[in-house]
Amino acid sequence: MKKFLMIAVLFALLVALLPASLVSAQSAGEDYTVQADDSLSKLADKFFGDINAYWAIMSATNQANAEDPSYVKIENPDIIEVGSKLRIPTQEDAQAFMATFDPANADVGALFASGAGGQLLVGNWWTSGGEFAGVNEVYKIYRAEYPDVELIHAGIAGGAGTNFKGANLNKLIAGDPFDVFMLHAGLEAELYSPEKYLTPVDDILAEAGVLDVMPEDLKALLKIRGNTYTVPLNIHRGNVMWTNTRLLEQAGVAVPTNFEEFFAACDALKAKGIVPMAQGSTDGFEFGHLFEVVLAGTVGAEKNHGLWHGTVPWSDPSVTQALENYSKMLDCTNEDRGTVNWVGAIKLVINDQAAFNIMGDWAYGEVINDKATDHVTWNSPPGNQGMFFLVSDGFAITKEAPNPENARNFVKIITRKDAQEAFNQNKGSICARTDCDYNTFPADRQEYFKGSAADFATNTIVPMVTHGSGAIPTWQQQFGDIVTKFASDRDAQAAQNAFILAAEDAGFPQQ
């Protein structure tokens, strides 16, 4: 139910906008126990003839849960367990609710009851199965240690924060911030005018003693004009080629290591009626992500660094070559790439419908969550051997956090080894500290995490642009837009000219 993507936050604002009398009227209605194959949207259709009215069910159920815990608390509307008790509002209440629904003014706090210890509003975009499984491990620790605090998972769906970042910025500007929110280590913090809207966390990191075990490459990324605003939770690898071993075996195709081999494999797979590569696009970042990996794989680590640091011009013929490789690669992908997102793409590999998918290792979180570790493995994308694309997620505390103490306690937990181990074994990333013990992870996953940690320690580290670490936000945005346009018009000349202008805009004159 992609469309009904998450959003405790939107649900929150819903209720915030409702007159009090209407909120209390929600207690009328009937109870319902979730059956196999139910989804909130299906139920909304069944009861109200409107799939979007799932918001009303979510609202009514959470209201009921505040008074009677036998009702489920719905944090993520995409994940509703069989057997959960829901409250279905009356038709009239549902209609009234939907009539006031306005996603423009999120006020998460107004939605949920406050615990004796107040609330903790956690802004993020982790709503997919694997993403939520990861962050939920951190929530479990927080809730066990601070049972009086009402922790609110304010997830705004859209991979790589495509919808979250703008919504979060709006809330900061409107003076209605989350307590903590997720962001990438690195230049992404600039998007949020850190001096104005964020609280430095240097003292928390120092007190937690975490600086001694934090990788140097990560530490370097975190400092912004002398301060740190992000408490890192993990290190994702952005450049992985996920591989369905069953399909390769069936087609008698070996894992390709360079572009030539990749295109040969593509032809061989096509000849057997197998989609060679899965690709998504609807979260807005997937095309740019793939090109960033193909670019580095084509031009090599050194030139790639030069392109992003002003020492190699974007007019370089190797960039043209990268665009060609990219275009040919897109011809190896599923025809419905325009209508699936990154989750849909990795699911094609998981479900034996495509042989490869180039995506960061949050895709491994989906592989784990879907119990597919037996037939989905990992390889280096063509030409990417020896490079580790660094993507690190962390949390910031807002300057005007409504619950500052709860926020501090949350990020303190984030620094901890136990929290990072619990989170990362589900998320697909390695810890943001060097002392995690991957031997404690479930046996079927250890090889991936150990390999990733070993590569991180020895490979060339490439901070990834598409995920906020390698370039200023405006350049990141332009790069993604250029590539997305190229993915449909395939005009290499136009794309390369646009790259040149974007680099100039970012302050790197192109000769």
Residues near ligand GAL (CB under 6 A) are 125-126, 131, 159-161, 184, 236, 342, 362, 391, 393, 467
Backbone angles phi and psi of 101, in degrees to 5: -65, 125
Supply angle C-alpha 194, 198, 201, rounded to 5: 105
In this structure, what DSSP letter does residue 82 have?
Answer: T
Closer residue to ligand GAL in complex, CB, 159/381:
159
**175 bridge partner residues:** none
Name the residue number minimizing CB distance to ligand GAL.
Answer: 159
Closer residue to ligand GAL in complex, CB, 150/366:
366
Closer residue to ligand GAL in complex, CB, 159/470:
159
Q: Are 487 and 463 in contact (CB under 8 A)?
A: no
Backbone angles phi and psi of 122, in degrees to 5: -105, 100
Give the integer Cα–Cα distance in Å for 83 and 297: 48
Closer residue to ligand GAL in complex, CB, 132/146:
132
In angstroms, give the least distance from the CB of 468 to ligand GAL.
7
Supply angle C-alpha 424, 114, 158, rounded to 5: 40
Q: Are 395 and 189 in contact (CB under 8 A)?
A: no
In angstroms, give the least distance from the CB of 359 to ligand GAL.
9
Give the integer Cα–Cα distance in Å for 468 and 477: 10
In angstroms, give the least distance from the CB of 243 to ligand GAL.
20
| H or E stretch covering 499 | helix 492-505
Closer residue to ligand GAL in complex, CB, 86/340:
340
In angstroms, give the least distance from the CB of 264 to ligand GAL.
30
Closer residue to ligand GAL in complex, CB, 125/263:
125
Task: State whether residue 102 is helix, strand or coil.
Answer: coil
> Side-chain half-sphere of 186: how many Cα atoms within 13 Å?
21
Chain centroid, CA 492 distance in Å: 29
Q: Are 227 and 420 in contact (CB under 8 A)?
A: no
Short-list 165, 221, 171, 231, CA closest to 200: 231
Closer residue to ligand GAL in complex, CB, 125/291:
125
Chain centroid, CA 82 distance in Å: 26
Residue 35, amino acid: Q
Task: State whether residue 8 is helix, strand or coil.
Answer: helix
In angstroms, give the least distance from the CB of 185 to ligand GAL.
10
Outline where 178-225 has alpha helix (H). Answer: 194-197, 202-208, 216-222
Closer residue to ligand GAL in complex, CB, 2/490:
2
Closer residue to ligand GAL in complex, CB, 160/269:
160
Instruction: Enumerate residues 6+ apart whose C-beta is below 8 A from 1.
Output: 39, 40, 41, 77, 78
Backbone angles phi and psi of 372, in degrees to 5: -115, 20
In angstroms, give the least distance from the CB of 236 to ligand GAL.
5
Short-list 343, 341, 363, CA closest to 282: 341
In angstroms, give the least distance from the CB of 337 to ligand GAL.
17
In angstroms, give the least distance from the CB of 160 to ligand GAL.
4
Closer residue to ligand GAL in complex, CB, 356/362:
362
Closer residue to ligand GAL in complex, CB, 86/187:
187
In angstroms, give the least distance from the CB of 10 to ligand GAL.
18
Its sign, for the CA torsion 235, 179, 224, 157, is positive
Closer residue to ligand GAL in complex, CB, 325/420:
420
Q: Which residue has the tokens 């709503």?
A: 127
| H or E stretch covering 235 | strand 234-237
In angstroms, give the least distance from the CB of 313 to ligand GAL.
28
In angstroms, give the least distance from the CB of 106 to ligand GAL.
19
Query: Residue 434's CB: how many other CB atoms inside 10 A?
Result: 15
In angstroms, give the least distance from the CB of 181 to ligand GAL.
13
